[in-house]
Amino acid sequence: MEQGRASDDGYNLLLGAGAPKKKGLLWTWDCARIAVLALAILALLALGLAKLVHGGEPQPEEPPVAIPGSSARLRITNGCSKDSLWLANFAFEAPFFPQDLEVAAGETHTFAIPDEGLAATRFWAKWKCDAVGKDCKIGESGGPGESCSSTNGCAPPVDSKFEATFGCMVEASKCAHNPSLPSEPLGPTDWWDVSQVDGWTLPYKVEIVGECPGAPAVIDCSSLSLDSCPEDDNLGPSGTHSLRVHDPDDPSLTVGCYSPCAKLTYAQWGQGLGFPPDAREAQHYCCPTPPISPEQCSSGPVVDTKFVKAVHKLCPGVYGYSYDDGMGLGQCPAGTKYDVTFYCPQGA
């Protein structure tokens, strides 16, 4: 009977009714069942309210659902042994994917590229950042959706990077349009490149998955080292200069390597010289056309710089300057998959 009493009280509490007049066995059993259910509901409500107020443990999220009309065409792996990297991106001057994605050491993030194509993308890795991918030692060079140090401003944009226009995999009428040629849809070809024309920060490797006769199967720049960045390169009329980018808060730390053109033209952090690319001091190292022809560039002083020789040694087949004989734009059939690995600086 005590159990019946508790059940009656719970039932009355839930419904707001007075004490019942009859207490047959069937009625008591039904009442007990309802009361137990009511108490369970109240307990769940209380638990949910407590989590809402006091911040209980979050429930595990469901695995991400594949985006309709997209394919896993780009994978970026963190090749560091212990440090996280943060991935930044943009597509035609605007972030397309979430910015500053943290990727733990040894982990991989897959980017779902729209089957209709995606033009003018850039992906690069940032290193030694805070918990949200800001205030980084390497990679904080600005760009759409990115922030820079309020004290020092943006880093010189010499980042190691992967750039691509991903071609269309669907019928032409459904293809995305090229933002630089709005009247023309993207074709069925991927155009991609990696180069050291601006310089470098992190070592990296690109591996092609699938048939692609228009590009090498592997671009291996994993031997790029900031210690190999020239400290005394001859840059012609402007003299001999170190190409090392130093952390403005710790000048003993090298965080990037300028190309000759970048050293002569970039002004960020007060370490570059800030000449226009077509200035007398820079034109034979940046090779703007006009006034410098491809033939003049390839036979000019930039070819003999320590920087270009280091690129050819450490990153075979990759451009070290404009009009270099290394691989320029890679061409692969749309749908080719790219595995890109960024590594931490050697010795880090």
Q: What is the domain-level CATH number for residue 175?
A: 2.60.110.10
199: left (phi over 0), alpha (psi -120 to 50) or beta: left
Is 60 within the bounds of a domain? no
My answer on whether 177 and 231 are in the same domain is yes
Q: Which residues of the chain have pLDDT under 50?
A: 1-65
Q: Are 74 and 338 spatial neighbours (Cβ–Cβ below 8 Å)?
A: yes
- Please give the distance of CA 347 from its chain centroid, rounded to a whole number: 23
Is 66 within the bounds of a domain? no
Residue 180 pLDDT: 81
Is 301 within the bounds of a domain? yes
Is 71 within the bounds of a domain? no
My answer on whether 24 and 122 are in the same domain is no
Residue with structure tokens 């012609």?
236
My answer on whether 188 and 327 are in the same domain is yes
CB atoms within 10 A of CB 67: 12
Is 128 within the bounds of a domain? yes
My answer on whether 29 and 153 are in the same domain is no
Coil/strand/helix, residue 257: strand
Q: Are 187 and 326 spatial neighbours (Cβ–Cβ below 8 Å)?
A: no
CB atoms within 10 A of CB 123: 22
Residue 26 pLDDT: 33
User: Which pair of structure tokens corresponds to residue 104?
Assistant: 């733990």
Is 263 within the bounds of a domain? yes
Residue 342 pLDDT: 98
My answer on whether 200 and 146 are in the same domain is yes
My answer on whether 41 and 160 are in the same domain is no
- Please give the distance of CA 87 from its chain centroid, rounded to a whole number: 3
My answer on whether 133 and 29 are in the same domain is no
Q: Is the pTM of this model over 0.85?
A: no
My answer on whether 254 and 323 are in the same domain is yes
My answer on whether 210 and 281 are in the same domain is yes
Domain that holds residue 13: 2-54
My answer on whether 141 and 26 are in the same domain is no
Please give the Cα distance from 230 to 233 (Å, whole number).
6
Amino acid at 159: D
My answer on whether 255 and 111 are in the same domain is yes
Residue 326 pLDDT: 66
Residue 11 pLDDT: 26
Closest CA to 253 of 152, 346, 141, 137: 137
My answer on whether 49 and 98 are in the same domain is no
| Number of domains forming the structure of the chain | 2
Is 141 within the bounds of a domain? yes
Residue 95 pLDDT: 83
User: Which pair of structure tokens corresponds to residue 335?
Assistant: 């749908």
Please give the Cα distance from 147 to 154 (Å, whole number).
8
Is 270 within the bounds of a domain? yes
Q: Are 154 and 148 spatial neighbours (Cβ–Cβ below 8 Å)?
A: yes
* Composition of the chain by helix, strand, coil, percent to 5: 25, 30, 45
